[in-house]
Amino acid sequence: MENEKSRAEELKEKLYLKSKNAYEFCEKEEIDKAYAYCDDYKKFLDNAKTEREAVREAVKLLEKNGFVPFEYGKKYVTGDKVYFNNRGKAIYIIVVGKKGFEEGLSIAAAHVDSPRIDLKQHPLYEDGGMAFFKTHYYGGIKKYQWVTTPLALHGVIVKESGEVVDVCIGENDDDPVFYITDLLPHLGKDQLSKSLGSAFSGEQLNILVGSRPFDDENIGEKIKLNVLSLLNEKYDVTEADLLSSELCLVPSAKARDVGFDRSLIGAYGHDDRVCAYPILTAAIECSKSVPDYTSITIFADKEETGSDGDTGMQSYAFENMLNELALSAGANPRVMFANSKCLSADVNACFDPNFGEVYESRNAAFINKGVAVTKFTGGGGKSSTNDANAEYVAYVRKILNDGNVLWQTAELGKVDQGGGGTVAKYIAELNVETIDVGVPVISMHAPYEIVSKADVYMAYKAFVAFFNR
């Protein structure tokens, strides 16, 4: 009897898939490393709240590590480290490996745009003794989350001369912040009877930007004039210059440790900087000893609105650059693409017991269980997804296990509960084996999202293992 039991135990040990928690999987030193790594990640989050800022931070870090701008027509050879800055909003980073381009590339792609509140082109108006900005939200937001919370103004105003004026107000402790109003509960009877999705309309998300009139008795719209006059003083711009601006409101809160044990990070825009930062730092780390395969690290723009546009992942800018890279070296780009492998580095939903009913707990990602591998995304009957090939899943499995990476598989939620996508399918369309790998996020797309430090570090380790394949 005893023997039989031990055989069953043995068999279970052999046959069952084991799931581990990072705090069992890692030695204490590795957890310490993870927390230290995340201190730098938090700085990156605070300095890179928009795609332009993320690209700027990346360029800084790359140049410090010997990377130089990509040049068309140049033949790149083993050990070269270059980056292609696509209009300051997306970046493609190349580390030329030991093998020829036709043997394929190791591509990791994250996006650096996050849901936010964009300004319209005619934003400024005065009403009820206050000045406001009209807005158009960007990406999938739950509108009620963005009211009565401090917001910072980020972006650029471009003058007719082409001069680009950088704007960032609300990040320094003594900066003013901006605000979207909500109704007091005392008068909320009608509002509170509405559904969560319809209680706030897009046109209600107006930003409060001032209330002090310009000191002149005889002029109309004194408050609007005063705001314009302050903008003019600070940036030398007029209302017409706002026509050619890209300004947005993002939460002004800084990234912070969350919990008594500091095991979590709360921040705006983990989706998808929590993958962008690991792929960037992994690419730089792996460039120090030249990898076998050429690595391509992508910060993409416009993922949250469908990856369209010249800086989105569907833009030919990326494909053109890679064609050029191959052709300049006498390689066939079609062969290069066919032999390439990609980790689409994007987040997945982390199981949240407070909303457990939308997850299928046997296939959901859990906090502290490592980086999540998502075979397919999409919605309904797996529509609009890159469903990775089993052969490629096996290949990635081996890389992660050989690299001592704690990982788990994940599905976004219950079947037919909703859905979502990533840039994976646009890279797969180039005839590149692709799968989603990223960090599980709690409260995704909220103004303040949560991730686990151990999971962030496992993402970094996963991308290092992939680039060093």
Closest to Mn ion by CB, 269 or 333 = 269
Closest to Mn ion by CB, 80 or 346 = 346
Residues 203-232 close enough to bind Mn ion by CB under 5 A: none
Residues 345-404 close enough to bind Mn ion by CB under 5 A: 346
* 3-class state of residue 313 by DSSP: coil
Q: What is the Cα–Cα distance from 457 to 284, expressed in whole angstroms?
A: 15
Closest to Mn ion by CB, 167 or 462 = 462
**271 binds Mn ion per the rule CB under 5 A:** yes
Closest to Mn ion by CB, 346 or 455 = 346
The set of residues, in sequence order, having a beta carbon less than 8 Å from that of 5 and lying 6+ positions away, is none
Cβ atoms < 10 Å from Cβ of 221: 15
Q: Which residue has the tokens 């937001």?
A: 141
CB of 115 to Mn ion, least distance (A): 7
Q: What is the Cα–Cα distance from 205 to 180, expressed in whole angstroms?
A: 6
Closest to Mn ion by CB, 139 or 403 = 139
CB of 201 to Mn ion, least distance (A): 22
CB of 449 to Mn ion, least distance (A): 10
Q: Which residue has the tokens 């005063």?
A: 226
Q: How many residues bind Mn ion (CB under 5 A)?
A: 3
Q: Could you tell me if 223 and 212 are in contact, meaning their C-beta atoms sit under 8 angstroms apart? A: yes
> Site for Mn ion (CB under 5 A): which residue of 51, 241, 272, 352?
272
Closest to Mn ion by CB, 141 or 325 = 141
Closest to Mn ion by CB, 314 or 468 = 314
- Segment interacting with Mn ion, rule: CB under 5 A, options 61-69, 101-109, 263-271, 397-405: 263-271
CB of 172 to Mn ion, least distance (A): 28
- Segment interacting with Mn ion, rule: CB under 5 A, options 8-16, 262-270, 272-280, 349-357: 272-280
Closest to Mn ion by CB, 272 or 301 = 272
CB of 139 to Mn ion, least distance (A): 6
Closest to Mn ion by CB, 206 or 377 = 377
Q: Which two tokens stand for residue 193?
A: 């009877």
CB of 111 to Mn ion, least distance (A): 6
Closest residue to Mn ion, based on beta-carbon distance: 272
Q: Could you tell me if 252 and 179 are in contact, meaning their C-beta atoms sit under 8 angstroms apart? A: no
Closest to Mn ion by CB, 118 or 126 = 118
* 3-class state of residue 295 by DSSP: strand
The set of residues, in sequence order, having a beta carbon less than 8 Å from that of 284 and lying 6+ positions away, is 61, 62, 65
CB of 299 to Mn ion, least distance (A): 12
Q: Could you tell me if 307 and 85 are in contact, meaning their C-beta atoms sit under 8 angstroms apart? A: no
**436 binds Mn ion per the rule CB under 5 A:** no
Q: What is the Cα–Cα distance from 340 to 145, expressed in whole angstroms?
A: 41
CB of 346 to Mn ion, least distance (A): 4
- The contact mask relative to Mn ion for 314-353 (x = CB under 5 A, - = no) is --------------------------------x-------
- Segment interacting with Mn ion, rule: CB under 5 A, options 172-180, 188-196, 270-278, 380-388: 270-278
Q: What is the Cα–Cα distance from 383 to 376, expressed in whole angstroms?
A: 10
Mind giving me the DSSP string for 182-205?
---GGG-HHHHTS-TTTSS-GGG-
- Segment interacting with Mn ion, rule: CB under 5 A, options 14-22, 58-66, 267-275, 429-437: 267-275
The set of residues, in sequence order, having a beta carbon less than 8 Å from that of 105 and lying 6+ positions away, is 293, 294, 295, 296, 322, 336, 340, 341, 432
Residues 131-170 close enough to bind Mn ion by CB under 5 A: none
Query: Cis peptide before 292, with omega less than 30 degrees from 0?
Result: no
CB of 140 to Mn ion, least distance (A): 7
Q: What is the Cα–Cα distance from 459 to 346, expressed in whole angstroms?
A: 10
CB of 314 to Mn ion, least distance (A): 15
**113 binds Mn ion per the rule CB under 5 A:** no
**Range 381-387 contact pairs with CB under 8 angstroms and sequence separation of 24 or more:** 384/419, 384/421, 384/425, 385/421, 385/424, 385/425, 386/344, 386/424, 386/425, 386/427, 386/428, 386/434, 386/435, 386/436
Closest to Mn ion by CB, 51 or 271 = 271
Closest Cα to residue 112, out of 319, 322, 343, 268?
A: 268
Residues 3-62 close enough to bind Mn ion by CB under 5 A: none
State the residues that interact with Mn ion by CB under 5 A.
271-272, 346
